[in-house]
Amino acid sequence: MASFDLNAFSPQQLDALITQAKQRKTTLKKRKPIAAVRKKLTDQAAAEGYSIAELFGGSAPRAASTASTTRTSATKGRKLGKVPPKYRNPANKNETWTGRGKQPLWLAAQTKKGKKLEEFLIEK
């Protein structure tokens, strides 16, 4: 919820804000409960022989913007594949890192001490 300093508003601005708030409240009161609307849509889809998943591509319709849907659908199902490790912790041979993602704590601590990343490369 947004909070603002009401002391900073002029009387005209406060009147405009009150009017907007009343209009919004009236609009919200006219709306039916979301569960009732969801049931109505589900029943209507079923009466036509469809499921909500078939119509909207998910278990239920979402109020998502098309930009976020496009962004997630572009990477959805994309597999990068398994990558062999590039770096190994000399103190613990079981700790390795592929070079992808965030550096592991052991490597970040060593580089912070002044060691170079190349010192931890696994020789091939």
> Rounded CA gap, 6 and 9, in Å?
6
Please give the C-alpha separations between residue 57 and each of 38, 54, 62, 80, 82, in angstroms, as whole numbers.
15, 6, 10, 24, 29
Going by pLDDT thresholds of 50, 70 and 90, the confidence category of residue 115 is very high
Domain ranges of the chain: 10-75, 87-120
pLDDT in tens, 70-85: 555 556 666 777 889 9
Q: With 90 as the cut, is the pLDDT of residue 96 above it?
A: yes
| pLDDT over threshold 90, residue 88 | yes
Q: Which run of H or of E encompasses 46?
A: helix 34-47
User: Does residue 10 carry a pLDDT above 60?
Assistant: yes
Mean local confidence (pLDDT), 5-17: 89
d(CA 6, CA 23): 19
Answering whether pTM is above 0.85, one says: no
Read off the pLDDT band of 67 (50, 70, 90): very low
Percentage with pLDDT > 90 across the chain? 39
Burial call 40-53: b when 16+ CB within 10 Å, e when fewer: eebeebeeeeeebe
**33 or 60, greater pLDDT:** 33
